[in-house]
Amino acid sequence: MKIEKIELNLLESPIKMKRSQGVGTIQASIKRVVLRIRTDQGIDGVGEAQAWEVFSGTNENVFHAIDVFLRPVLIGRDPRDIPARMQECDRALVANPEAKAAVEMALFDICGKLAQVPLHVLIGGKFRDTIPFSFSIANPDIHADIELAKQMLAEGHRIFKVKTGFAAPAEDLKRLSLLREHLGDAFDLRIDYNQGLLPYEALRQLRQVEPFNPTFIEQPVPRDAIATMAQLCAALDTPIMADESVFSPAEALRTVQERAADIISIKLMKSGGILKAMKVNAIAETAGLPCYGGTLWEGGIALAAASHFIAASPNVSLGCEFYMPKYVFLEDVLAQMTPVAAGHVHVPTGPGIGVEVDWKAVEKQRIAFAG
């Protein structure tokens, strides 16, 4: 079996709501890359990448990275030998985890379709059918988010993650207290600073948010402030989650060695795909740290792929934030959305990633193509 063709689409997808996220603000639209790998046996695989410029890089870069640097090492090769293909991608191009995640996703999709089994069967089999779903409260208008959260609570959602650190500390405390006041204690509150605090002020700020009883506090300080992360883990009762501090398995190992997190957030866009995400998870699990399924701004294809990884990984036990297609995009690119019901994402059961792409929707959102 051989890879014959790689079709790349850079999309600009309109969104419904403004998001303030600590290090950056999102409004009007989100760019992402959707690719299709075609083989000589008529089986296609799809993949998706999303990069956020203040987090990891740009979507234009992802598009260019695959088009110019990864395409030549993939064309004519066997898509079933995924570790070999990914090692060649790593040798051809340093970093660029989002581009590599999208390529690997499409290779897994091809293998799953070939074997007629869902992706999770290829990576060890399923531990769970559904994943608890976390929605991020990040609208600068907190009252709009409270109304949405009330509606979601009525539908069975229980996990809300509040984005803090982009407003003055007093404003953050006011938002947290409004949430507890309006939504009560019947929900699981998580707090994400997206690196928003300076190391010298972090401990004092976080002591003030602990009384709101968050399940965890995510990435309070810049990604390289490992000593401060360790200090916060030791000083606070609330578990600290590393997000931006851990992209690669090597960073997961450093975090464990430095005791710089109690939980690790895994994103395929950070690790560079499922195989490396499994390594991050193995390191965390061995050290006794549970994991969480995070996202950047990717849509249904990438989230479905990630849900297979979580389904097959018992230690990724703190849920996922796979809410973009249903709650943020005006329109995704799937013929049928991955079901979200009663506060849970349902793991796809079809062969491969288990999604059907609506190529007309891709064309509608497309701003660049290479094939």
Active site residues: 163, 267
Query: Smallest gap, in angstroms, from Cβ of residue 84 to Mg ion?
Result: 32
Residue nearest to Mg ion (CB): 243
- Per-residue x/- track, 299-338, Mg ion (CB under 5 A): ----------------------------------------
Nearer to Mg ion, 19 or 120 (CB): 19
**Residues in region 229-288 near Mg ion by CB under 5 A:** 243
Query: Smallest gap, in angstroms, from Cβ of residue 236 to Mg ion?
Result: 18
Q: CA angle 22-26-30, nearest 5°?
A: 135
Phi, psi of 128 (to 5 degrees): -140, 150
Nearer to Mg ion, 243 or 262 (CB): 243
Stretch of residues binding Mg ion (CB under 5 A), selected from 30-38, 116-124, 217-225, 306-314: 217-225
Distance of CA 320 to the CA centre of its chain: 8
Nearer to Mg ion, 188 or 218 (CB): 218
**Spatial contact of 366 and 3, defined as CB atoms under 8 Å apart:** no
Nearer to Mg ion, 192 or 262 (CB): 192
DSSP state of 212: G
List 344's β-bridge partners, or say none.
132, 341
Query: Smallest gap, in angstroms, from Cβ of residue 216 to Mg ion?
Result: 11
Query: Smallest gap, in angstroms, from Cβ of residue 21 to Mg ion?
Result: 8
Residue 307, exposed/middle/buried by CB under 10 A (0-12, 13-18, 19+)?
buried
Angle of helix 142-154 relative to helix 169-183, nearest 10 degrees, comes to 30
Residue 170, exposed/middle/buried by CB under 10 A (0-12, 13-18, 19+)?
exposed
Q: According to the binding rule CB under 5 A, does residue 298 interact with Mg ion? A: no
Distance of CA 352 to the CA centre of its chain: 19
Contact with Mg ion (CB under 5 A): which of 44, 67, 192, 251?
Answer: 192
User: Which residues lie near Mg ion (CB under 5 A)?
Assistant: 192, 218, 243
